[in-house]
Structure 1
């Protein structure tokens, strides 16, 4: 896969992760789920170990910037989801006691 195609995939994942963050901020969990599936499709196209030419310094900087943005978005999404996950755990634990 050419490096430009690989960088396009990273940039697409970055854009989708920003949309996922926006959906999480709006508590649009259905929209978030659809975006997550879309994001996974792009991620699976990124070669883990490929026969790629080494990245230029500019391409490497772009890749690193994408990864930093994705990780930052993911952290904020997890922070937004934490109360919902705790509530879900409480509900599940409450239901397990009723059995």
Structure 2
């Protein structure tokens, strides 16, 4: 069973990683962002197990929702920063998928 303190420590860790992901996106450190996303996923997976065993009072629920709002705001900002990069990558592949695949994988 997870204590409420452990539960919130997990949420705080997710919020911290989310903030680091946003900083990486702002600096266009895309490889760093990918590595942070892996950590993020592991933390979220661990939180899923804890969700069923924790009972929150009203104050704790407010705290949880504040953390979730922060995480979602960071996520939205990351998406805004990454979207132009995704558009550029899509343009790179548009109209030339065969050539790009050949270059990437050495296909003949």
The verdict on a shared fold, with TM-score over 0.5 as the criterion, is yes
Write out the 4+ residue segments of structure 1 that deviate beyond 6 Å after TM superposition.
none
Distance (Å, rounded) in 1 between the aligned partners of 2:11 and 2:44: 8
In structure 2, the partner of 1:19 is 20
Structure showing greater Rg: 2
RMSD over aligned Cα atoms? 1.7
- What is the 5 A alignment of 1:1-99? 1-47=2-48, 50-52=52-54, 54-96=55-97
Distance (Å, rounded) in 2 between the aligned partners of 1:97 and 1:28: 28
1:45 is displaced (CA, Å) by 0.3
**1 or 2 for the larger relative contact order (CA 8 Å, sep ≥6)?**
1
Q: What TM-score comes out, normalization by structure 1 length? A: 0.89
Say how many residue pairs are matched.
98
1:58-98 deviation line (CA, Å, top 9, x unaligned): 21121111100000000000000010000111111132275
